[in-house]
Amino acid sequence: MLQWVVAGLAAGALVGPVQDHGRQGDFAEAAREYGVPVSVLLGVSYLQSRWDTHDGRPSTDGGYGPMHLVDLETAARPDDHGGHAAHASGDARGDGARPAPRAPEARPDRPAGPAAGPAPGESDITGPSLRRAARLTGLPAGQLRADPAANIRGGAALLAAYQPHPTADPAGWYQAVVRYSGARDPLTARSFADEVFAVIREGATRRTDDGFPVRLAPVPGLRPPAAPPLRRAQNAECPATLACEWMPAAYKRTGGGDYGNHDRISGERRVDYIVIHDTEGSYDGIKSMVTDPDYVSWHYTVRSSDGHVAQHVRTKDVAWHAGNWDVNTRSIGVEHEGYLAKGGAWYTEAMYRASARLVRHLADLHDIPLDRAHILGHDNVPGTTPQTLPGMHDDPGPYWDWAHYFELMGSPLHDDPRARDDRDSARRHAGPLTSRARPADAPKGARRAAAARTVRTGRDGEDAPASVVVLPDYGTNQPTFTGCVKAHPARACEPHGASAVWLRTEPRADAPLVDDVGKRVGKPSTSSVYDHSARVSTGQRFAVAGTRGDWTAIWYLGRKAWFHNPPQNPAAVPAGGPLVMPLKDDVKVYGRAFPGQPAYRGTGVDFQERVPLPYVIRPGQAYALGHTVRSSYLSAGSYDPDRHVTVTGRQRYHQIQLGHRVMYVKAKDVRVVH
């Protein structure tokens, strides 16, 4: 049977015929065999895996194949990296005025990191079970893990087993989909099913990892059976359409004048960022960590299997998550169950969609532009001093699909910049000291084919470079990394789609990688999945420093850095938006937007020295301007929030995309060009 695909559905949408062979045929055959409507089978699979196999590797929580059949016996690998502390160190609070909380590896009563897992019987997830699918189909477990057609049959068999009265009407399968989620919490299970039905209503089309297109035709009138509306936990700050749990972080005195594990704020606070993390372990260990006053904290955790959300810290309070106190005081931290590497383990669509819905909700509440200058990875947060830079975290890493994530938030990174500016204009803060200069993203269509190669003129008549936004195709962009297997750090990771692009010292593939003097002090950059010294990431914007053939140079950490950018498969696209250029030689760069010494007079707060980072900006260079902030420092060293003091200075800082991480320059040291 031939079906014609409609253009313009989503990223990865196709134009042309879709045949009932490849994976499309596997879904159709399994649906017929087990009497499951093919739309239901496709919808469930899309929400779990987007119909991909991931080469037989398990997801972050042990699910295999297009149907995400869970087999924890084989997914528990001996090469787990064992929590954040295993791949980076440092103080998540990031405040030099207070000593760091005890590191998790110092606790003798508990293994480090959430990867320690639950005690027997504690897990909140019960399925979908690969072992039960094996019993229902008679297929070996190994075949269900590795063979996508068998895996799809296993998922269809489970859905049929959950359906007491088979029907051709997809709406009649709602409760079977609820059970397929595996969530014991009924609200989470219903939320999962509602998202599946939303996918079926909208339809989807994409080319899967076998090279063939798959299409789920939209069913616009499909509605689940009537049921009471989803209700959030009483204290959870989540959108009404998302089932959330309130799992409060510890807030108690720990002795010696210290307390944990976050700071409560009287009144409201300004939020500039949402920081995306991964847990480096399973969801089951989260509660024991976030309720430990000697540990650290974050605001939300999103579970991989079904998108369940738990909130731990009120958004008006400061969590200790980013390793930079200035960023902590102006951000919300969202953890995602999973691993930066672990052989390239994958995140489910359910988690991406739940997280995107949560972050969009938070961005609307706090007037945060949806761009990569404000939605940061933990690996984009600047270090506070030269000493802390090497220990800053690297998650969520190159395998996080930033382009897809922004599409789900309704703010695609290749959107029309004029329409994007109109949509976001009402979201910006008023006034020159709080304005958010956001980069416009690349145009659609043919203009995606090559990076900008023209020179534009600044307001003062000075020539200003064009800029580009990094936007490789996630599926086909498969750079070689090492370090995914702890026991064999030099072994190449399995091929996997990635959001990262390598940077080299010259425009040729055999040129050395550029070096980051702050990240790897005295050492060259490496290809490790944990080393972002010579990488840029999807959505980041940089000023063009030159072009040569199929190569483009950008200004990066004070030097030219080259990446391969052929017109037929571009790694970056033209972009608009403001840039900063130096007004003097050797402009200093900072990791915190702290006030100068005069601002502290009469406040009772000790002066916090502004320590420059080991980078400088020189004449002729240019960097993308993300937003502008007024200098401030929150002194929050008391258990009583009424004793906190905010020191505000007159000085302004520009946040710029200096390298893989954002950093700050004093506004008086640079000029803004457009």
pLDDT at 137 over 80: yes
User: C-alpha angle with apex 592: 378 to 114, nearest 5 degrees?
Assistant: 25
Q: Which pLDDT band holds residue 608 (cuts at 50, 70, 90)?
A: very high
The residue count of the chain comes to: 674
CATH class held by domain 2-76+128-181+186-216: mainly alpha
- The SS3 assignment for 14 reads coil
Residue 232, pLDDT score? 59
Q: What percent of the chain clears pLDDT 70, i.e. is strictly above it?
A: 82
How many Å apart are CA 608 and CA 617, to the nearest integer?
A: 23
Residue 267, pLDDT score? 86
Find out whether 269 and 318 touch, Cβ atoms under 8 Å: yes
Domain ranges (residues) in the chain: 2-76+128-181+186-216, 244-582
Side-chain-side CA neighbours of 635 within 13 Å: the count stands at 15
Q: What is the pTM of this model?
A: 0.87
Q: Which pLDDT band holds residue 186 (cuts at 50, 70, 90)?
A: confident
pLDDT at 15 over 80: no
Residue 430, pLDDT score? 28
pLDDT at 107 over 50: no
Same-fold call for 2-76+128-181+186-216 versus 244-582: no
Q: How far from 162 is each of 47, 188, 350, CA to CA, in Å? A: 18, 17, 20
More confident site: 636 or 7: 636
pLDDT, one tens digit per residue, over 419-433 is 344 434 433 332 222
Residue 507, pLDDT score? 98
- The SS3 assignment for 642 reads helix
How many Å apart are CA 652 and CA 664, to the nearest integer?
A: 10
pLDDT at 120 over 70: no
Among 46-60, 407-421, 537-551, whose mean pLDDT is lowest? Answer: 407-421
DSSP codes, 337-403:
SB-S-TTT-B--HHHHHHHHHHHHHHHHHHT--SSTTTEEEGGGSPPSSTTTGGGS--TT-TTS-HH
Q: Is 629 left (phi over 0), alpha (psi -120 to 50) or beta?
A: beta
Residue 131, pLDDT score? 93
- The SS3 assignment for 506 reads coil
What are the tokens at 160?
A: 């049929």
Residue 90, pLDDT score? 60
Residue 230, pLDDT score? 63
Residue 1, pLDDT score? 32
Residue 317, pLDDT score? 97
What are the tokens at 9?
A: 């559905």
Rounded to the nearest angstrom, the gap between the alpha carbon of residue 274 and the centroid of all alpha carbons in its chain is: 10
What are the tokens at 229?
A: 């509306």
Q: Which of 122-136, 209-223, 431-445, 613-627 is most confident?
A: 613-627
User: Is 244-582 CATH 3.40.80.10?
Assistant: yes
What are the tokens at 246?
A: 């309130």
